[in-house]
Amino acid sequence: MPKRPLSLTLDLIARAHPDPVRDDPTAQTFLTDDELGPGLTQALARRPKAGESLWVFGYGSLIWQPEFAFTERRIGTVRGYHRRFCLLQRRFRGSVERPGLVLALDRGGLCRGVAFRLADDDPHATLLPVWRREMRGNGYLGRWVTVETDQGPVTALTFVVNRASDRYTGRLTEPEIADRIATGAGHLGPSAEYLFRTAEACAREGILDLHLWTLQALVAERLEARAAC
């Protein structure tokens, strides 16, 4: 855990974003299960070691809201990708008028997160809920990665940014990212709450991510100014 508490708090977020945002179902087009199914089938066909346990690697909201049953969880490191706010959110945690940002894995560096072990009786049925959650908005690509854990390496499915998507922002500076997170809000709440819950969950797990820690401080500064107006 960091020695200092988070500057960003739920109270500050609520004061800076007191008004709810109405949902706009037209803000984003989603793929149906029929459209998503073949991609999941192809991903499972590319699974490097089909005889091993089925794992999913989470680095953002999956850490604090996995929404699937798992039998084991391990802290681990993936190399070749880093955690970054680089995906526009025009619904849920953002809107067309006030788009937010969510995390993805982008090229280079490393990322510490949580690997979840799932039941492997029917991999397609087991993975479909998380595949639907991550892939229906055309922001991610499914990839199998090696996760280094204290108990040994595991192969896990994770979701990296789709650089061909119109939601991909490229490499914004951290002040630019903070500007968007501070203003972004959708019907599920502000983009800043997503940042807070991810930073809090990572800190609780002992995952110290400078990108998250810097951003939460920058966003807190912006929300303090917003709340004071």
**Structure-token pair, residue 218:** 């920058």
- Cα–Cα distances in Å, from 22 out to 97, 182, 184? 12, 18, 13
- Cα–Cα distances in Å, from 222 out to 29, 75, 96, 171? 31, 32, 21, 21
**SS3 for 79?**
strand
Residue type, 19: D
Say how far apart CA 74 and CA 51 lie, in whole Å. Answer: 19
**Structure-token pair, residue 138:** 């055309």
**Structure-token pair, residue 61:** 């909201």
Question: Catalytic: which of 35, 67, 72, 134?
Answer: 134
134 is catalytic: yes
The DSSP code for 168 is: B
User: Is there a contact between 106 and 81 (Cβ–Cβ < 8 Å)?
Assistant: yes
- Beta bridge partners of residue 155, listed in sequence order: 146
- Cα–Cα distances in Å, from 188 out to 23, 28, 115, 146? 8, 14, 26, 32
Catalytic residues, by residue number, are 134
